[in-house]
Structure 1
Amino acid sequence: MLVRLNEKERKKMNRIAKWDNAKFVLIILVVICHFYENYLGSSKLVNSLFFSVYTFHMPAFFLISGMFSKKTVKERKIVKVVPYLLVYLFMKMFGYFVSGIMNGGTFISVDFFREPGAAWFILALFFMYLITFYTKQFRPAYVLIVSVFVSMAAGYSNMDTNLFCWLRIAVFYPFFYTGYALSMDTITKWTENRKLKIVSVAVILIYFLVCYVGIDKLFWARFLLTGRSYEALTHGAFYGGILRLFTYVLSFGLVFAFLCIIPKGKNIFSQLGTRTLGVYVFHYNFINLFVHSCWYKALYHNFPNTWEIILVLFGIVVTLICCLKPFDACCRAILSSKWKLRLDDELK
């Protein structure tokens, strides 16, 4: 999501616009699910779509981010990842002012150390880069295995999981590291197999169907998909680690299936896929605006048979709005080389 390619990498990847296409589809799913979050429990369709999408959309984002992290990790320069922290701080402050204005001028204090909201992904990327600066010296298989076991064990902790979003970092790091460890050519080769594409379509459709039919029995397990502790299991907490391991297998499989069905050719959405950072940074403010509007409750009551579809359309519209150049330009300014050069000079 925060990936910025240099010229050499862009030329290599630009014949395969697959990754921009994937990011555009994923960011639409992110926005739609964040709309749906406000209606969980109101509809079987909302619950099942939320559950099924959460199984793979953030893991896929982390895997793609890890795939493009190789150059930065190799150079091991903290200055290269500081912009992630700047984006995080910008999201916190911008959200603080927008929420205060929508609450009639009542500004709630902002906590930079705890992140229960959307900005967690940006902060997680910052720490994942730092972790990979040190794990890169070990054999990839060992790092992946250890990271999975660490995340399984971390779920038993009673610590505040929103503090530096540490648990979500532990849970999603295996996806980021997998992207880092595998070569771009390998992933592309695997996901461009024609037979696997057909199988992948079937796998995803079947999974969505299973989630829809069995959501009443599955929905309790959504905490496993959002990087939370096993606290929700109460008496069955002992099995939390095993469930987390099963979730990894399921998520990795669905991420692979998702990437298989994404076309590698350039299309109308490829350019928009390069602007997903702006969407991620600003979309939640549009959702907050929606929640504070009369539409929030009226939608469900006035359109009882179609409100779920209308929310999907809202998600697509907000995504397209946030893909506009002003939003993208703002994010690019935060990530600009000028910041890096200044920081680099100060750190020398």
Structure 2
Amino acid sequence: MAPRTFQPPQTDTLPTQESDGTSAPPVPHRTTAPGGTGAPGDRDPFFDNAKYLAVVLVAIGHTWGPLTGGSRATEALYLLVYALHMPAFIVISGYFSRNFDARPDRLRRLVTGVVVPYVLFETAYGLFRRWAEHDPSRPISILTPWYLTWFLAALFIWRLTSPIWRIVRHPVAVALVIAAVATASAGIGETLDLQRVLQFLPFFVVGLCAKPEWFHVLRGRRMRVPAALVLVAALAAAYRVAPPELAHWLYHGSSTDQLGVPWWAGVVATAGLFCLSLLLTACFLAWVPRHRTWFTALGAGTLYGYLLHGFVVKTALSLGWFDLPWIRTAPGRAMCTLVAAAVVTALCTPPVRRLFRCAVQPRAAWAFRRTGAVSPGTR
């Protein structure tokens, strides 16, 4: 039997950043850094730890994509990672968007922290793609995200709709219906990767609806053993019975027509994968450290690691490094995993953040009116 293979997605995952200045309500019994004040404004290490670990999984998943062929173990790990890392990021994004509204300062931060980085990095990736794919004449389009940048476009759309989800009844169910309709609908197009934006929408709405007490339950020690058993069972299932086509469902970027299945299969799969990914996300969060660790401070820089590591992965692909015979051995895959984790960790560090802050977190105060300025004609 020929080995099962995956084709890595052209657009993939992303981390969250409280770029609009909103903050989530404090989690009960939160821990603070040694010497911290314990005030509500203190960063909760749990969420910084979760964001860092999730972005490491993102980088590792991108590295495993070209290496899954011929290795059932790598294939199973790849499926498990793709089932939970993006939903985890999106749930946390939704949770930190609970207080988002149309207040001018929050709109400014949404523009400078999401829209501007999207435009800059989509342009940068477009230019980079010309080199990587040896196509100097390839057009650059801001409206068709490539590889990593789709998440910024999605985050902008999701946050703008946040006030709506706070007032509708049964918001998660409504979002799930929208995701199912999107999955079963062809012709949505590639503009802002709306197919993916709508299919991942329910996870964002779950985050918006999440209560601090839910995370408190997940952080309890008694949850760790059941969570580990579920993760092991999911990995075993991915190894033994999961079809290779499941990866394309987990990318959430294709319609049923593109996947070659009837529309009703998309509706069923949307609901089933949503429940599965939400369960695995909860299991992942149950194992996130609750206290400060050596990587807690890196959680504030996950957007940098997310946006920048794609250049490293695509450079390795363009240079053919993943095709080297020794890379496709078990030691080679292990080395690639460690290198991916090390690279994305380095990209989250303060020196890198200082260097790229002008692109990832620009201030751009000159572009906005002062809060409270009177518009012409309103006197």
Name stretches of at least 5 consecutive residues in structure 2 with no aligned partner: 1-15, 27-37
Q: Per the alignment, do residues 170 and 286 of structure 1 end up closer, same or farther by CA in structure 2, a change over 3 Å counting?
A: same
Query: Which residue pairs with 1:221 in the alignment?
Result: 246
Query: Which residue pairs with 1:212 in the alignment?
Result: 239
Q: Per the alignment, do residues 334 and 233 of structure 1 end up closer, same or farther by CA in structure 2, a change over 3 Å counting?
A: closer
Matched residue type, 1:25 = L
Matches within 5 A, 1:79-90: 79-83=108-112, 84-90=114-120
Query: Which residue pairs with 1:148 in the alignment?
Result: 176
Name stretches of at least 5 consecutive residues in structure 1 with no aligned partner: none
* Cα separation, 1, equivalents of 2:233 and 2:239: 10
Query: Which residue pairs with 1:133 in the alignment?
Result: 163
Deviation at 1:162, TM superposition (A): 2.6
- How many residue pairs align between the two structures? 342
* Cα separation, 2, equivalents of 1:344 and 1:35: 44
Matches within 5 A, 1:89-238: 89-102=119-132, 106-139=136-169, 142-183=170-211, 185-215=212-242, 218-227=243-252, 228-238=254-264
Matches within 5 A, 1:29-48: 29-48=57-76
* Cα separation, 2, equivalents of 1:234 and 1:95: 30
* Cα separation, 2, equivalents of 1:94 and 1:116: 11
Q: Is the 8 A contact 1:282 1:327 kept in 2?
A: no
SS at match of 1:265: coil
SS at match of 2:140: coil
More helix by share: 1
* Cα separation, 2, equivalents of 1:330 and 1:121: 22
Higher relative contact order (CA 8 A, sep 6+): 1
TM-score, length of structure 1 as denominator length: 0.88
* Cα separation, 1, equivalents of 2:327 and 2:109: 49
Q: Per the alignment, do residues 331 and 71 of structure 1 end up closer, same or farther by CA in structure 2, a change over 3 Å counting?
A: farther
SS at match of 2:190: coil
Q: Is the 8 A contact 1:18 1:264 kept in 2?
A: yes
Deviation at 1:160, TM superposition (A): 4.6
* Cα separation, 2, equivalents of 1:151 and 1:294: 37
Q: Per the alignment, do residues 98 and 203 of structure 1 end up closer, same or farther by CA in structure 2, a change over 3 Å counting?
A: same
Q: Is the 8 A contact 1:116 1:162 kept in 2?
A: no
Query: Which residue pairs with 2:51 in the alignment?
Result: 23
SS at match of 2:273: helix
Q: Is the 8 A contact 1:114 1:164 kept in 2?
A: yes
Matched residue type, 1:79 = R
SS at match of 2:40: helix
Matched residue type, 2:199 = V
